[in-house]
């Protein structure tokens, strides 16, 4: 059996990873914002920070992981689908801006 501290950490990670399945008309603003913060804002903040060090060296790679939900929508996961679709376009914008610096995305 895992020690209590590890069980709590594991439970906390599972809670963050869990996506509520609910129709868009029922998605609370808090749940919407959580999906955007987790799947989009986090990638932006990390990508920007990495790029600030990577671009002056004219080398490096940033890998953003999207989902099949980027192109396919399913009922009850609209917030997740929107965040992943926007992440794809954020990655395209990063590529357009930073390609001249020999950065790979």
Record the tokens describing residue 90, joined without a space: 């954020």
- State the angle between helix axes of 78-98 and 42-54 in degrees (0 to 180), rounded to the nearest 10: 10
52 backbone dihedrals φ, ψ, rounded to 5°: -60, -30
Residues annotated as part of the active site? 80
Ramachandran class of 76: left when φ > 0, alpha when ψ lies in -120 to 50, beta otherwise = left
Record the tokens describing residue 45, joined without a space: 């903040």
């Amino acid at each position: 059996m895992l020690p209590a501290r590890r069980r709590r950490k594991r439970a906390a990670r599972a809670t963050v990873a869990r996506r509520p399945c609910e129709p868009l008309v029922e998605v609370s603003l808090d749940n919407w914002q959580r999906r955007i913060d987790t799947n989009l804002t986090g990638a932006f903040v990390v990508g920007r920070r990495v790029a600030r060090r990577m671009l002056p060296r004219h080398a490096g790679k940033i890998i953003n992981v999207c989902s099949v939900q980027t192109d396919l929508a399913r009922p009850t996961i609209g917030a997740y689908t929107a965040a992943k679709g926007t992440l794809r376009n954020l990655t395209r914008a990063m590529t357009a801006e930073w390609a001249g610096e020999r950065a790979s995305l």
